[in-house]
Structure 1
């Protein structure tokens, strides 16, 4: 009997060993499917967010499929490592990937005794293997097949774990595990989790914070401190208990820490939040652009612009122009690129604060008051039918409208649906606002909200320092720096004056301040000033003409040159938008982007050399290898003397003309030039500002040109846009680390001959006039 028992015992035991060995051999030779290769183990794939980094080394944000950034072992607090090992794998440093003692404990306590609290037998290395090479179990298969697949998958994970142990150190394995696991709230990896839950970095996590995060890993939803705070607290204290059990903290520390309530600095990380949101979105679209195909464009001009970018700018479409070693294109969402930009995080923050401050505290309340005083009429000077057309066009652009159309709803029923009140959250200058209104009323609500855009650039190297496409990216996605174009008004006039300076005129050249007449075909056209001046009919200097933005003077210059010559000058300065060579160019009725305008004005400061704006200096892969470097392109387009004369003219605008409130209201010192711009019906307000080391531009207006101020005193560029530049520059001047100072001076050229720039000697006294005569 005993001999028979021994025979069966050793037979079963030997068979089990042989079966296990055979299974492992077959798995290793990929009989049951592919195993991770050596190359895959050396370079395991994981969706890593690309980081957008400022020139002062601040992470502006991430571009990702999964919000995950990798950190090295030395960048992780020992508190996290201790909590992880104590909770998930106490014998981590004593095994080689598989903990047979742990497996024995699981078999005896969990399987035989049924004690579920005994925990699992998977080591950290096995869990890493499972995360790096996920299981592929089909829930639709029958239980036997699914169980067999699960066993085989488990054996695969064991083999992979052993291979990982051979290829990596324990420290590397712990770091890899913490980099790949999910923590919930769209946070993947310890770096994202530390930022999301505590607004800190992994190396700064306290013991109780580390315990909370390690506890979450076990079940990100069940132990979420946001969704289930009580369960999360209990789980955190279990982790603290494990840390005490294995000697990582003392009894006194355990008692103290376990009594602390959960204290979060929770901020869900999304593409819509953070600093430089418009810039990050522009960068994403720029780098992922595909080669232009005319069939995808509704405008031939846009196709031409993008085609030129594709041919001349290596950053445009970078992800589709460059290949990884395996021959596939780079993926900005998963490849963990490090994109080093020219944005300065402090300047960006100052710009965002200035823009929000002016719109929130001054401009929007003034417009709201006007709308209220005219009987809540949002749109001005248009018919009822035109208003209906605007609103219906806005309805058609919504997801709600498209959904109703897809469901077969008629136009009448759609309109009825849009008039039904529902709960919703809307934008307000004081923060998100929960309210009840109809979708149609929400369209009207957003139509009256003013928008603004801002861009600042170093005129000498083309580096873009600050970039804002609108007031709040969450609600207003349209980028009014590069994407949007509006009529530029009088900010186009310096380009006309540039041609005059180049052809031998000077700021002190006197011309007649009288109406000018143009004959265009069979039409006689005479642009007029909207206001009157005591210098009407007199000889005045060109400097006075630009300072006060007088149309008579611009028209006189226009008559001295052909429209084609003016267009050519504008193109030389870097404007690529479409312009027709017509005499009315100087009124600024053509639409340019703020991006183009800032670059063009930078030419004056950079001694006549046009520099292409640049916003990325280099791109690195996730390991820090430089993939591409970028430099700006420069071209001399006007003489150094012409550029300096234009600086003198633009200083006149600030010192004696439409930009004078920079001096008397905002008390900005130092060398500053600029130009205000106001379009018809005060629909658009512009200000372009230049200093020796920084050029910036501002546009302000509503989504629709029919939403505007009634009075020019409120609707002019000096009131709509200039204050944002002023508030920004005050903050920049106050920050000595930015190396932009009121003491900066223009780079003065050696001007041949004797050109008088002090026009006061020519008996034309300047009048303080900040209202454009357009």
Structure 2
């Protein structure tokens, strides 16, 4: 070593003037000597406290390297077991030694560490050869890190390091880092087999394009698995390890091919444990790069997930839901979970088709989202979250990245909120057959702070007393304000929150009742304190998923459950992962749920507000439903459920101008340019709801509403 490292120090000044090359070479010489000394250091120093601490830290890191618990991709599956999304920071596919082709092992050792099978972690012969080559050329042309050392470095950089600063320090060219890598490499060679080290290396090394490890690289670049990699494919992937960015085969194919062919030539050289013939090499070099374009790496985003135009809303809800129950984005992107979601692709497709048929995705500023929830006493499974919009970032293509299917919208659901007044009445002993008065206008002082408040019925709603059941189907404003006076505003608001409006009514609001994170009151508290009798007319903000879950609560015999997008979840080892979500609770009594199911049973029948749409769709099943429209026709909704499935549709302006919405027969809706419109819950929402729900129920037995709250 002394002969190789005897550099004329007078040359150093000139070396600095030539870019510091000779200084770097001198550093390599010093490093080689220090490496040897450092490997003997623990024995020489004995058992001092500092050495004990260093040795202990090394032992812990060595064990970590042996286990190689790398960040892994989280996979989201639909209810049929098909993937709909992936979450990852770095794309990885764990691969065992038996799943990696011999050609890949041959390629990587030939170009990165020809003596891999012979050295003990640090290749002293290779180090001396590299020093000699570099000194004779006057430049740093050859490195000497073994695959074992490279594995240590890559693991520290891409697995252990959490921050950009830590990653920078882990790959900084310093003697201290080289010493640590060398000592860990020697330790690993004592505790792991060569086969284990090579496999671990091939599972952690970066191949560019956010792809790490040979399993992910084979899929990303060639759409195949590592066991099927050919000589030319293996050589290209081994080439990328040298400089993944500069050798990107889609951006710099000439450089990538040159490096690939170099690797192929190296694979023919004597001394390789696995060697190819000259004939094999020539055939491999004649092959095109054959890289996929676009690359086969699955996207790590709900926006670009497979089928994201339809699945993106559900994907985003699921991710946010998991965040709320304790799984951070970092955990999801590194944990390697398998999430079995509740998403029903058939229901999703039916709902998407119906939503877009009524409001084309490019309709300016008109949203038409639909949410479908499966009722149950143990869980409320979210089966579909869709909209007329596609999920994405390009508004010109009718896309939105706002999750309008579960986000609290800027508008209300209109007379749908009469359900909560009816629920409060039934809970207090009213029957769906009890009669309420329905004058053409009604004046109250109770909700006007001592002032008169007079309301009228919507156009087409006749006056005259009728049963609560008939009132729910025909939706008179006057009768329900009269009923609200008797059951109590506070009771109706509490009923709404219990049944499912937990997000919207818990939002903080300012003194004007507008959403504000700095507000002192919740929306529910504000409505009560300001005595807003208009609550029963549905003027307050709500989300379509909340509305669907309200109907699921009724269909579940009064049992509220959080609308869950997850059926089960396992960790990287296949063990179950517990999700601590809110427990289900008996929100309203079974008898109240039964009464509501009977009271809401006529909306789709002759005289009901959604009869025309139900008849046009050929709806035949028992159904509880309610429509609603807000003032000036700015939004409308329909909620409905059978004992098997609950759903809601809400149509509203999702961008300015927020004018009334017009519906011209079966033609697309548009904003009228003033406050006049003709949107009702029985038009676009109902025309979306019935075709979708009919298709979703195909093949299911017909169940009666009389069973609700009775079993």
Distance change >3 Å, CA 592–CA 20, structure 1 → 2? closer
**Structure 1 residue 259 corresponds to structure 2 residue 177:** no
* Aligned counterparts of 1:156 and 1:690: Cα–Cα separation in 2: 65
Given that 1:451 and 1:703 are in contact with CA atoms closer than 8 Å, whether structure 2 keeps it comes out as yes
Distance change >3 Å, CA 593–CA 153, structure 1 → 2? same
* Aligned counterparts of 1:677 and 1:500: Cα–Cα separation in 2: 19
Q: Deviations over 1:465-520 (max 9, x none)?
A: 34459743435443334443431212222222333444455555555543252322
State the match for 1:546 in structure 2: 472
State the match for 1:688 in structure 2: 639
Q: 1:463 aligns with which of 378, 381, 385?
A: 381
For residue 123 of structure 1, report the CA deviation from its aligned partner: 2.9
* Aligned counterparts of 2:620 and 2:390: Cα–Cα separation in 1: 28
Stretches of structure 2 that go unaligned for 5 or more consecutive residues are: 7-29, 162-171, 395-399, 506-522, 670-678
* Aligned counterparts of 2:417 and 2:31: Cα–Cα separation in 1: 86
Q: Deviations over 1:349-396 (max 9, x none)?
A: 63784487447xx4456x5xxxxxxxxxxxxxxxxxxxxxxxxxxxxx
Q: 1:22 aligns with which of 28, 33, 37?
A: 37
* Aligned counterparts of 2:385 and 2:229: Cα–Cα separation in 1: 33
**Structure 1 residue 585 corresponds to structure 2 residue 585:** no
Given that 1:614 and 1:632 are in contact with CA atoms closer than 8 Å, whether structure 2 keeps it comes out as no
For residue 610 of structure 1, report the CA deviation from its aligned partner: 1.6
**Structure 1 residue 594 corresponds to structure 2 residue 526:** no
SS in 2 for 1:514: coil
SS in 2 for 1:592: coil
* Aligned counterparts of 2:221 and 2:612: Cα–Cα separation in 1: 45
State the match for 1:571 in structure 2: 497
Q: 1:606 aligns with which of 528, 540, 556?
A: 556
Bigger drift between 205-214 and 520-529 goes to 205-214
State the match for 2:452 in structure 1: 524
Distance change >3 Å, CA 466–CA 84, structure 1 → 2? farther
Q: 2:183 aligns with which of 159, 172, 184?
A: 159
State the match for 1:123 in structure 2: 146
Distance change >3 Å, CA 704–CA 597, structure 1 → 2? same
Distance change >3 Å, CA 190–CA 646, structure 1 → 2? farther
Bigger drift between 580-589 and 22-31 goes to 22-31
State the match for 1:716 in structure 2: 680
Q: 1:498 aligns with which of 412, 423, 441?
A: 423
Count of aligned pairs: 600
Given that 2:438 and 2:478 are in contact with CA atoms closer than 8 Å, whether structure 1 keeps it comes out as yes
Superposition pairs of residues 299-310 of structure 1, within 5 angstroms:
none
State the match for 1:299 in structure 2: none
For residue 600 of structure 1, report the CA deviation from its aligned partner: 1.9
State the match for 1:450 in structure 2: 366
Q: Deviations over 1:129-166 (max 9, x none)?
A: 12123599xxxxxxxxxxx9645644432322222233
State the match for 1:479 in structure 2: 403
**Structure 1 residue 703 corresponds to structure 2 residue 654:** yes
Q: Deviations over 1:432-469 (max 9, x none)?
A: xxxxxxxxxxxxxxxx4334544333321123334459
What's the Cα RMSD here? 4.5
**Structure 1 residue 514 corresponds to structure 2 residue 538:** no
* Aligned counterparts of 1:201 and 1:669: Cα–Cα separation in 2: 51
Distance change >3 Å, CA 68–CA 317, structure 1 → 2? same
Q: Deviations over 1:555-610 (max 9, x none)?
A: 45435422233223223313230232433222101222334322222111111212
SS in 2 for 1:517: strand
Given that 1:453 and 1:471 are in contact with CA atoms closer than 8 Å, whether structure 2 keeps it comes out as no
Q: Deviations over 1:282-341 (max 9, x none)?
A: 5555666xxxxxxxxxxxxxxxxxxxxxxxxxx54555xxxxxxxxxx952775252635
State the match for 1:764 in structure 2: none
* Aligned counterparts of 1:239 and 1:728: Cα–Cα separation in 2: 57
For residue 59 of structure 1, report the CA deviation from its aligned partner: 5.0
TM-score, normalising length: structure 2: 0.70
Q: Deviations over 1:685-723 (max 9, x none)?
A: 333232333323333333346434542564334444445
SS in 2 for 1:463: strand
Superposition pairs of residues 97-246 of structure 1, within 5 angstroms:
97-99=121-123, 102-103=126-127, 106=130, 112=136, 120-134=143-157, 150=174, 153-194=177-218, 196-197=220-221, 209-239=233-263, 246=274
State the match for 1:344 in structure 2: 343
Distance change >3 Å, CA 593–CA 261, structure 1 → 2? same
State the match for 2:513 in structure 1: none
Bigger drift between 637-646 and 50-59 goes to 50-59
Distance change >3 Å, CA 747–CA 700, structure 1 → 2? closer
* Aligned counterparts of 1:263 and 1:84: Cα–Cα separation in 2: 18
**Structure 1 residue 43 corresponds to structure 2 residue 64:** yes
* Aligned counterparts of 1:239 and 1:549: Cα–Cα separation in 2: 77
SS in 1 for 2:391: coil
Given that 1:509 and 1:541 are in contact with CA atoms closer than 8 Å, whether structure 2 keeps it comes out as yes
